[in-house]
Amino acid sequence: MDFLYLIKALGRRKWIIIFSLAIGVGGSLAFSLLRKKAYTSSAQYSTGLTQTQKVSLQLTEILDINQIDFRFNNVIETFKSPTVLGMLAYDLLLHDLMSPHPFRTLTEKQKKEKVYQEANLEKAKDILNQKLIALQVLSTYEPEEKKVWDLMNLYGYDETSLFKELTIERIQRSDYLNVSFTSENPELSAYTANMIGQKFQEFYNSLTNIRTKASIDKLDSLAKSKRKEIDTLRRRLEVYRAKIGTPNPGDAATAAMTGYQAEESQLTIQQALLNTLKSQLSTTIDQLATLNNAPVETAAANNNDEYLLLRRNNADLESQLAQKGGEDPVIQAKIDANNKKMQNLMRTSGGGTGGTAGLSTKSLAERKSDLQQKKLDLVAEIESTNQNIILYSKNVEEFKKTAFSGGGKEVMANAYENELTTAEADLAKYNNSLLNSQNLDVAPDFNFRQTLLGQPPIQPEPSHTILIVAISGLSMFFLSCLFIIILEFLDTSLRTSSIFQKETEIKVLTVVSKIDLQRKPLKECFELAGTNGLDKSTSTFIEHLRKLRYELESSGKKTILITSTRSQEGKSTIIEALAYTFSMSKKKVLLIDANFSNNTLTKKFSAKPTLEYFSLNGQDNAIDKIWGITTLTNIINTDIIGCNEGSYTPMEILPKNNLLMNLNKVAQHYDYILLEGAALNNHADSKELAKYVDGIVTVFSAKSSFGETDKESMRFLKDMGDKFIGTVLNNVDEDYLDL
């Protein structure tokens, strides 16, 4: 839909737009003149929100822009809270009930209402005073309080009414709030702007005092807990200092490193000695095993066993003697006695036998005895060496801990001291906050002060009548235009030639403008053709018919069927108008009404219904018989053959050798023969008539839409090939003729 079409559509409905514009202007003007004057008073308050808090649970406080914005939003929402607005409403109602100069007085009509008649004013005053003292809102569930609430609404002091006229905003990048109130009474506006600050401060202080007490209790609890923590940290540091001993763990680490190195060296020596002793023990055990396999005498063997036992006993005694410093007479006497016995045993084993055998036995016994003693000595030394290794290893670990962890102990000691210092600093901050909180008489983080007193305004607020009227008028103008445009978009009718061609893709022979035939019949229109008595619309209509006449003459076809897809599209009017235009060009025309479903042409010209009865039956005088069935019309050079109206088709009603089958003979006496057929969508008449004519023309009304059934009918016409001449778009609004 192009822009020019929309302009034309708006122009056609200009009176609707003008009427809507007039309603908007008139309504807004009446509203501006009848509206009560409004007075606005403003008060200014300093919030103190940019100051730091006196009592805070945070040990460090940093105020940034976001925190300040959040606090301002909280303050503004508190101003708008039901409690603050309720306290303000109670105060205003009390003023009007008790003051000789109330802000608002009820009209006689309002005083006759049930709410006012049932209200007990004295009791209402008591209830309002109690609520103001307790900072409580009215309960609508209590019957008496519900009456007071209804009375407050009657005066217009309800929460919704007050909130609608109240404006609370922050002055950008400052510590101030502007509070404005608008009403019909300048004194009421000033009183409200000032009083709401007081009610806000009372309510806010009631909340923050509770919070301050809770904060003080919390601070006291935290301080006590911190003291216990400090005592615990101090005891832990003292115990740790006592444990590490030297006041300087670094000196202990240096000394321990020297001892660590010495003990590590001794440990290495002892481990090497242990390995040597184990090797010697293994060799001694192998030698004993070899000697045990050698043959010896039984007596010598017995003496040898006793000898070895005495020698082992002496070894034990010598060990005990060494532990006691080598000076023990008892142990020494036992050792000497054992030595004598050992000497006797040696002589005994040597005297029993003589010669080489005795010496061999003695040598073997002594050898085994020496090896046994050596084995015992080695086992003892290995055990002693193991004990030394354990002792040196333990000393190495102790010196290592002292040498390598002496710095760590100092770090731990410093960490304990730092924790203690931090805890003592926290306790000092808690004590400072508690000290500051003792003398607080206002909200700890909010110093609310009124810096500008609201005054009763002298002049009312500007009415802005011209602006309101202009906005209302323009709004109605644009809304009406928008409504018309929406209707045009929703309209599916074939309004213009361009829309028709876009929908159907069919050649348009001409568009025929809309004409009021009730006011001026076609006969009068064409009788005045060529004179100065024609108006513009009639002249345009005739010119469009002339264009259609030219298209038909250019087609070269003489017998033409004029039909439509739907009924009541204007076929009969187009045929009659064509007859007039052909008559103006001195053409002789025959009209045949073949629309059996609606024989409008027959009725229009009072024609004889002879079409169904005509038949040549092989007669030679065909033209004479045709003259007998035609009827003269009031159009010059135009005849008509009528038909009866009925529910049948041409194939069903027309006889053999009927008139349509002899149109070629009739066409010899006429310049053009125009047939009217029934609508294609509902009847088959036009499809049956199509075979008798040279050309077909369809008529569409611009008020109709193009549906699926129309598409099927148009496919039939396109299948007729060159026989289908084109279509006529009828009943087009004059404003859309050029689109």
CATH code where residue 680 lies: 3.40.50.300
pLDDT of residue 322: 66
Instruction: Give CA–CA dist 725/733, Å, rounded.
Output: 24
Going by pLDDT thresholds of 50, 70 and 90, the confidence category of residue 464 is confident
Where is pLDDT greater, at 433 or 137?
137
CB 397 within 8 A of CB 296: no
Residues 559 and 682 occupy one common structural domain: yes
Is residue 12 one of the residues assigned to a domain?
yes
Report the percent of the chain where pLDDT is more than 70: 81
Residue 720 CB contacts under 8 Å (≥ 6 apart), including other chains: 690, 696
Please compute the mean of the pLDDT values over residues 474-494 and round it to a whole number.
83
Instruction: Give CA–CA dist 317/328, Å, rounded.
Output: 10
Residues 88 and 22 occupy one common structural domain: no
Please compute the mean of the pLDDT values over residues 215-224 and round it to a whole number.
68
Helices 14-34, 3-12: axis angle to 10 degrees equals 70
Helices 186-244, 65-79: axis angle to 10 degrees equals 140
Nearest to 670 by CA among 639, 634, 693: 639
Helix (H, G, I), strand (E, B) or coil at 734: helix
Lookup: tokens for 43: 């008060």
Is residue 359 one of the residues assigned to a domain?
no
Residues 140 and 13 occupy one common structural domain: no
Residue 589 has pLDDT above 90, yes or no: yes
Going by pLDDT thresholds of 50, 70 and 90, the confidence category of residue 405 is low
Please compute the mean of the pLDDT values over residues 511-521 and round it to a whole number.
81
Helices 298-323, 329-351: axis angle to 10 degrees equals 160
Residue 673 has pLDDT above 90, yes or no: yes
Nearest to 714 by CA among 700, 693, 694, 701: 700
Residue 90 CB contacts under 8 Å (≥ 6 apart), including other chains: 128, 131, 132, 138, 152
Lookup: tokens for 510: 């001409």
Structurally, the chain folds into a number of domains equal to 4
pLDDT, tens digit, 9 for 90 and up, residues 284-312 = 887 777 766 655 444 455 566 677 778 77
Residue 352 has pLDDT above 50, yes or no: no
Residue 334 has pLDDT above 70, yes or no: yes
Residues 499 and 621 occupy one common structural domain: yes
CB-neighbour burial class of residue 736 (10 A; exposed 0-12, middle 13-18, buried 19+): buried
Residue 509 has pLDDT above 80, yes or no: yes
Please compute the mean of the pLDDT values over residues 410-425 and round it to a whole number.
73
Is residue 665 one of the residues assigned to a domain?
yes
| Residue type at position 39 | Y
CB 468 within 8 A of CB 32: yes
Number of neighbours of residue 148 by Cβ within 10 angstroms: 24
Instruction: Give CA–CA dist 626/619, Å, rounded.
Output: 12
Residues 542 and 664 occupy one common structural domain: yes
3-state SS of 304-317 is HHHHHHHHHHHHHH
Is residue 358 one of the residues assigned to a domain?
no
Residues 13 and 118 occupy one common structural domain: no
pLDDT of residue 70: 81
Q: What is the arrangement of strands in the sheet containing 672-676, beginning at the earlier edge strand?
A: 508-513, 724-732, 695-701, 559-563, 672-676, 589-593, 638-641, 631-632
Lookup: tokens for 155: 């005066």
Instruction: Give CA–CA dist 134/137, Å, rounded.
Output: 9
Number of neighbours of residue 340 by Cβ within 10 angstroms: 10
Is residue 507 one of the residues assigned to a domain?
yes
Residue 71 CB contacts under 8 Å (≥ 6 apart), including other chains: 47, 49
Residue 699 has pLDDT above 90, yes or no: yes
Going by pLDDT thresholds of 50, 70 and 90, the confidence category of residue 496 is confident
Mean pLDDT of the chain: 80
Residue finishing a domain among 288, 318, 352 = 352
Residue 187 has pLDDT above 60, yes or no: yes
DSSP H helices in 491-610: 497-504, 522-527, 536-555, 571-584, 600-605
User: Residue 589: which domain range?
Assistant: 494-736
Instruction: Give CA–CA dist 481/471, Å, rounded.
Output: 15
pLDDT of residue 71: 81
Residue 575 has pLDDT above 90, yes or no: yes
Instruction: Give CA–CA dist 271/267, Å, rounded.
Output: 6
Going by pLDDT thresholds of 50, 70 and 90, the confidence category of residue 392 is confident
pLDDT, tens digit, 9 for 90 and up, residues 244-278 = 655 555 555 666 667 677 778 888 888 888 888 88
Is residue 362 one of the residues assigned to a domain?
no
Residue 628 has pLDDT above 90, yes or no: no
| Residue type at position 412 | M
Instruction: Give CA–CA dist 80/167, Å, rounded.
Output: 10
DSSP H helices in 437-535: 465-490, 497-504, 522-527
pLDDT, tens digit, 9 for 90 and up, residues 707-716 = 888 888 888 9
Residues 1 and 40 occupy one common structural domain: no
Residues 29 and 94 occupy one common structural domain: no
User: In whole angstroms, how large is the CA radius of gyration of the chain?
Assistant: 65
Lookup: tokens for 609: 């219904």
pLDDT of residue 256: 62
CB 684 within 8 A of CB 649: yes
Distance of CA 645 to the CA centre of its chain: 69
Residue 334 CB contacts under 8 Å (≥ 6 apart), including other chains: 313, 317
Please, which contacts does 428-436 make with residues 24 or more away whose CB atoms are closer than 8 Å?
429/59, 430/219, 430/222, 430/223, 430/226, 431/223, 433/55, 433/56, 433/219, 434/216, 434/219, 434/220, 434/223, 436/54, 436/55
The three-point CA angle 79-85-91 to 5° equals 125
Residues 133 and 4 occupy one common structural domain: no
Query: What 8-state DSSP symbol labels residue 642?
Result: B
Lookup: tokens for 167: 């404006």
Residues 27 and 43 occupy one common structural domain: no
Number of neighbours of residue 709 by Cβ within 10 angstroms: 13
Nearest to 553 by CA among 664, 667, 672: 672
pLDDT of residue 251: 57
Nearest to 560 by CA among 655, 392, 674: 674
Nearest to 168 by CA among 45, 49, 69: 45
Is residue 366 one of the residues assigned to a domain?
no
Nearest to 646 by CA among 602, 711, 701: 602
Is residue 480 one of the residues assigned to a domain?
yes
The three-point CA angle 637-640-646 to 5° equals 165
Where is pLDDT greater, at 305 or 168?
168
Q: What is the residue whose two structure tokens read 């945070």?
A: 58
pLDDT of residue 460: 84
Residues 22 and 93 occupy one common structural domain: no
Residues 498 and 480 occupy one common structural domain: no
pLDDT, tens digit, 9 for 90 and up, residues 74-120 = 888 888 888 898 899 999 999 988 888 899 888 888 888 888 888 88
Residue 347 CB contacts under 8 Å (≥ 6 apart), including other chains: none
Residue 683 has pLDDT above 70, yes or no: yes
